Amino acid sequence: MVCFKRFMVKKRGEGLIFISIIFVILIVLILNGAQLGMFAYSKDITNTASREGARAYAVEHSEDLARNQIKEIVSKTLYVNEETFPGENVELSEITHEDQPFCKARVSYNVPVIAPDILKILNPKDPGWGRFKKVTSSAYFLKEYQPEEELDEE
């Protein structure tokens, strides 16, 4: 009880300063939580888009279909413009592993940072975090067998 007595002494303005400090810390924690949520959600969506794109590429053997599938998933679920999801953020390729053909889809998304210059409060010379942070996901699927008659038609 003795150690708490000094905190019970009322000093003019002490409560206001205490509330101000707690308020700033609370705002920073809320912003960090929201940013972490944005990163996690964007990572989940890019993971889903890369899996669907690799699956479409492996089954249908069409890059256009796979790209359209990826762009549809990302544009329906995330904020998309030329800065967050430019055209070069989708990579499709075929690779061989142990004489098996695989299709790879890699999707990147630039997550907007809520407070890009918040580090400049502590150090004005700090470059900050930038306006965007990149989130990337990749998926691999075994390429499906393509019957000979389909090969002849193409």
- Classify residue 62: in a domain, yes or no: yes
pLDDT for position 40: 95
pLDDT tens, residue by residue, 36-60: 999 999 999 999 999 999 999 999 8
Tell me the pLDDT of the chain averaged across its residues: 83
- Classify residue 13: in a domain, yes or no: no
pLDDT for position 17: 84
- Classify residue 3: in a domain, yes or no: no
- Classify residue 10: in a domain, yes or no: no
- Classify residue 1: in a domain, yes or no: no
Q: Calculate mean pLDDT across residues 104-132.
A: 82
Q: Is pLDDT at 4 greater than 60 in this prediction?
A: no
Of 143 and 118, more confident: 143
CA distance 147 to 144: 10
Q: Which of 51, 66, 145 is nearest to 100 (CA)?
A: 145
Distances (CA, A) of 133 to 42, 119, 128: 11, 15, 12
pLDDT for position 147: 61
Q: Calculate mean pLDDT across residues 13-32.
A: 85
pLDDT tens, residue by residue, 78-88: 988 888 888 78
Structurally, how many domains does the chain consist of? 1
Q: Are 142 and 116 in contact (CB under 8 A)?
A: no
Q: Calculate mean pLDDT across residues 82-111.
A: 88
Which residue type sits at 19? I
Q: Which domain holds residue 118?
A: 18-153
